[in-house]
C-alpha cells in the first residue's frame, strides 16, 4: 500500500523524471563519444557525460531517501534512442550534426522538467526542486556550449 502511494507522490515522480532524463543523457553521450573523432568536441562530450552521471547519482540518492528505487528509461526507450542515434549518424558524423542532435535532446529535457516544476510549483520538496532547477540550468549551459559546434 505504501509503495503504490509513493508512486503517486508528485515528488517521487519528479525525481524519477530527473533520474530518467540524466540517465538518458549519459547513455546518449556514451554512444556519441564513440562516434566522434573531433578531440575538442569529444572533450566537451565527456564533461557533459560526467555532469549527467553526477545528476543521475544525486537523483538516485534522493529517490532512495524517499524509500524508492530509481526507475530509469524502459528497455524500449533505450533501444529506440540507440537506434535513432545510429540512423541519424549513418551519413553525417560531423560535430555540427552531433551537436544539433544533442541540443534537440537537451531542449526536450528542459521542457519536460520545467513543465513539471511549473505544474508542481511550491508544493515540491525543496531538495527535489533544487535538483530539478540544477538539471534545467545545467542542460541550458550544455546547449550554449554545444551551439559553438553547430
- Locate the domains of the chain by residue range: 2-147
Residues 6+ positions from 150 with CB-CB distance below 8 Å: 96, 99, 100, 103
Query: Do the Cβ atoms of 106 and 139 come closer than 8 Å?
Result: yes
Q: Of 39, 47, 55, 53, which is closest to residue 137 (Cα–Cα)?
A: 55
Q: Which three cell numbers stand for residue 38?
A: 573531433
Nearest Cα residue to 66 out of 144, 10, 143: 10
Q: Please, what CATH class does the domain formed by 2-147 belong to?
A: mainly alpha
φ, ψ of residue 2 in degrees (nearest 5): -60, -40
- Long-range pairs for 79-85: beta carbons < 8 A, 24 or more residues apart: 81/24, 81/27, 81/28, 82/27, 82/31, 85/28, 85/31, 85/32, 85/35
* pLDDT value, residue 7: 52
Structure letter (DSSP) for residue 91:
S
Instruction: Yes or no: say if 138 and 51 are a contact pair by the CB < 8 Å rule.
Output: yes
The alpha carbon of 81 is separated from its chain's Cα centroid by a whole number of angstroms, namely 12
pLDDT in tens, the chain (150 residues): 344 444 568 899 999 999 999 999 999 999 999 999 999 999 999 999 999 999 999 999 999 999 999 987 777 776 777 788 888 888 999 999 999 999 999 999 999 999 999 998 778 899 999 999 999 999 999 999 999 999
With contact defined as beta carbons under 8 Å apart, do 70 and 63 qualify? yes
Q: 10 Å Cβ neighbour count for 137?
A: 11
Confirm whether pTM is higher than 0.85.
yes
Amino acid at each position: 500500500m505504501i509503495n503504490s502511494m509513493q508512486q503517486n507522490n508528485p515528488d517521487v515522480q519528479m525525481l524519477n523524471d530527473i533520474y530518467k532524463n540524466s540517465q538518458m543523457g549519459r547513455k546518449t553521450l556514451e554512444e556519441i563519444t564513440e562516434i566522434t573523432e573531433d578531440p575538442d568536441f569529444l572533450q566537451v562530450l565527456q564533461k557533459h557525460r560526467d555532469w549527467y552521471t553526477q545528476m543521475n547519482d544525486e537523483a538516485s540518492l534522493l529517490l532512495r531517501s524517499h524509500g524508492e528505487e530509481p526507475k530509469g528509461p524502459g528497455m524500449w526507450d533505450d533501444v529506440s534512442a540507440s537506434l535513432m542515434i545510429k540512423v541519424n549518424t549513418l551519413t553525417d558524423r560531423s560535430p555540427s550534426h552531433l551537436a544539433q542532435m544533442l541540443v534537440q535532446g537537451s531542449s526536450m529535457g528542459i521542457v519536460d522538467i520545467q513543465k513539471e516544476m511549473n505544474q508542481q510549483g511550491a508544493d515540491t520538496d525543496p531538495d527535489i526542486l533544487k535538483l530539478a532547477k540544477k538539471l534545467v540550468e545545467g542542460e541550458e549551459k550544455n546547449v550554449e556550449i554545444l551551439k559553438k559546434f553547430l
